[in-house]
Amino acid sequence: MPNIKNIELPDIGDFDEVEVIEILVAVGDTINAEDSIITLESDKASMEIPSPFAGIITELKVTLGDKLKQGDVILSIQSEEAKNTKNTKNTENSAEIVDTEPKIMPIIVPDIGEFDEVEVIEILVNAGDELNAEDSIITLESDKASMEIPTPVAGKVIDVQVALGDKVKIGALILNIESVAVEAQTETIAETQVETPTPAKLIPAAAPTPEALNQAVSTLPKGDSHASPSIRKLARELGVDLSNVTGTGQKGRVLDADLKGYVKQILTAGTIGGALPKVPVIDFSKFGETETLALSRINKLSGKHLSACWLNIPHVTQFDEVNIDKMEAYRQAQKAQGIKLTPLVFIMKSVVEALQQYPRFNASLDESGENLILKKYLNLGIAMDTPKGLVVPVIRDVDNKSLVELATELAETSAKARNGKLKPADMQGASFTISSLGGIGGTQFTPIVNAPEVAILGVSRSFNKPIWNGEKFTPELTLPLALSYDHRVIDGAQGGRFMADLNKILKEADYD
């Protein structure tokens, strides 16, 4: 005869009270034994509490936020005593139970989507293990994703029929499990094995918009999805809102494969930049008086370009200091003869000499990212500050021009930049860029690579540095340099050698 039973909070360890953070069932739901009914959270962990028997929920005794202790009533359930059942604590609905004697059940590979065979990369159980329904038993991996396969029934593992590295397909035997209530579970097994792995999570979806990607990133799951504590923890670590993930387990439960498949779709459908959370909009006027200034057209264009460069290029920056006493002596001697040469022209000539020795720095990646385009020309972009913003005009064929020719062209180009007279063609075709802040100040900075180039040299203000020569300190005019490069093309050793040779060229060059 049907009777009403109260499900109480069991012994959950050394906790006086724990908070209800999720209610997984509702009045009227029909549940099976071991189905999770609530999720509790202590200061150390979260845990799901299962129902000890099957039945229909008649009343919920808790609400979100309640603090519970051992023995508190969680809910009331209408249950029928099972026939031929010796263990009344685990009684299930007698209409569902046909045979409670332990029987051996084969667990097979369910429908895993459009894959002929997939490899077993992890075996998560051993013979003799006691399992709950939905516990993962093996991990499979295709060329597109990995997925954990759960057991649809609880019981004891008799033997494992697969080995690491095996190729399996739908219907292949994974293991045998000793389970009770076999006939009552047969239909559930069939349903679960059809719906557990979801082809949808592995088939590439249409690329989501940046807004959709932003929505997918959240600091905490919203808590309105059916998932185990381990899945919730993984979701928090990945920054995924579980309410956006479609669960394919029983009662819409989010499985490990669902979560990983969702993350794979996000990563393959859009760039990392598209998934960045938006900066919050703040009304600064509430803190004090403000003024809004419109960005110049150059500011807007350069801002977008630099953001794209920073997001798409894995930057590395190496620093060095060069003794430029010899260069400065020559420059001052030329100045005495009425020839004005800035330090930048010496740096330009030294850079092109180094680029000839290291052609990877004078190159670009092709669109596929799999080929390097080596440029046989030596055109240098020179970053210039103007009243309207940063511009980078190009000085062409630097290797074929003298110091005086470069100084003259630099002066003319700088005047055009200040007066807004540069044409688009004047800012195209660079193979390497130099950004010099020597006339402004500072000891070092990290320049951003000007894509599609793969490297940029930053130059700071020179200064006299005391150097110990073995007997006393002597001043050396020292020029700080910073080389930023695309780590996909240039490794640290190559960057170090380039800087060492550039240092030597600047220090020892014969300008006469």
Q: What is the DSSP string of 266-289?
A: HHHHS-TGGGSPPPPP--GGGTS-
Catalytic positions are 487
Q: pTM for the whole thing? A: 0.50
CATH dotted code for 103-197? 2.40.50.100
The span from the CA of 101 to the CA of 167, in Å, is 34
**CATH topology match: 2-90 vs 103-197:** yes
Mean pLDDT of 435-455: 92
Output the average pLDDT for the chain.
81
Q: Which of 243-252, 328-337, 409-418, 493-502 comes out lowest in average pLDDT?
A: 243-252
Q: Does domain 297-508 have CATH number 3.30.559.10?
A: yes
pLDDT of residue 363: 97
Q: Is the pLDDT of residue 230 over 80?
A: no
Residue 35 pLDDT > 60: yes
Q: Which of 44-48, 67-71, 318-322, 428-432 has the lowest mean pLDDT?
A: 44-48
For 388, other C-beta atoms within 10 Å of its C-beta total: 14
pLDDT at 385 over 70: yes
* 138, pLDDT greater than 60: yes
Give residue 45's pLDDT. Answer: 64
Name the CATH topology of 2-90: OB fold (Dihydrolipoamide Acetyltransferase, E2P) (2.40.50)
Q: Which fold has domain 201-275?
A: Dihydrolipoamide Transferase (4.10.320)
How far apart CA 494 and CA 41 sit, in angstroms, is 52
Query: What pLDDT, on the 0 to 100 scale, is given for residue 200?
Result: 34
Contact between 302 and 451 under an 8 Å Cβ cutoff? The reply is no
pLDDT band at 456; cut points 50, 70, 90? very high
Q: Is the pLDDT reported for residue 144 higher than 60?
A: no
Cis peptide, bond prior to residue 229, ω within 30 of zero: no
Q: Find the helix packing angle between 325-336 and 343-357, rounded to 10°.
A: 130
For the cut 60, the answer to whether the pLDDT of residue 165 exceeds it is yes
Domain ranges for the chain: 2-90, 103-197, 201-275, 297-508
State pLDDT tens for residues 73-128. 999 888 754 333 434 444 444 434 444 556 788 898 887 665 678 889 889 899 88
pLDDT, position 204: 37
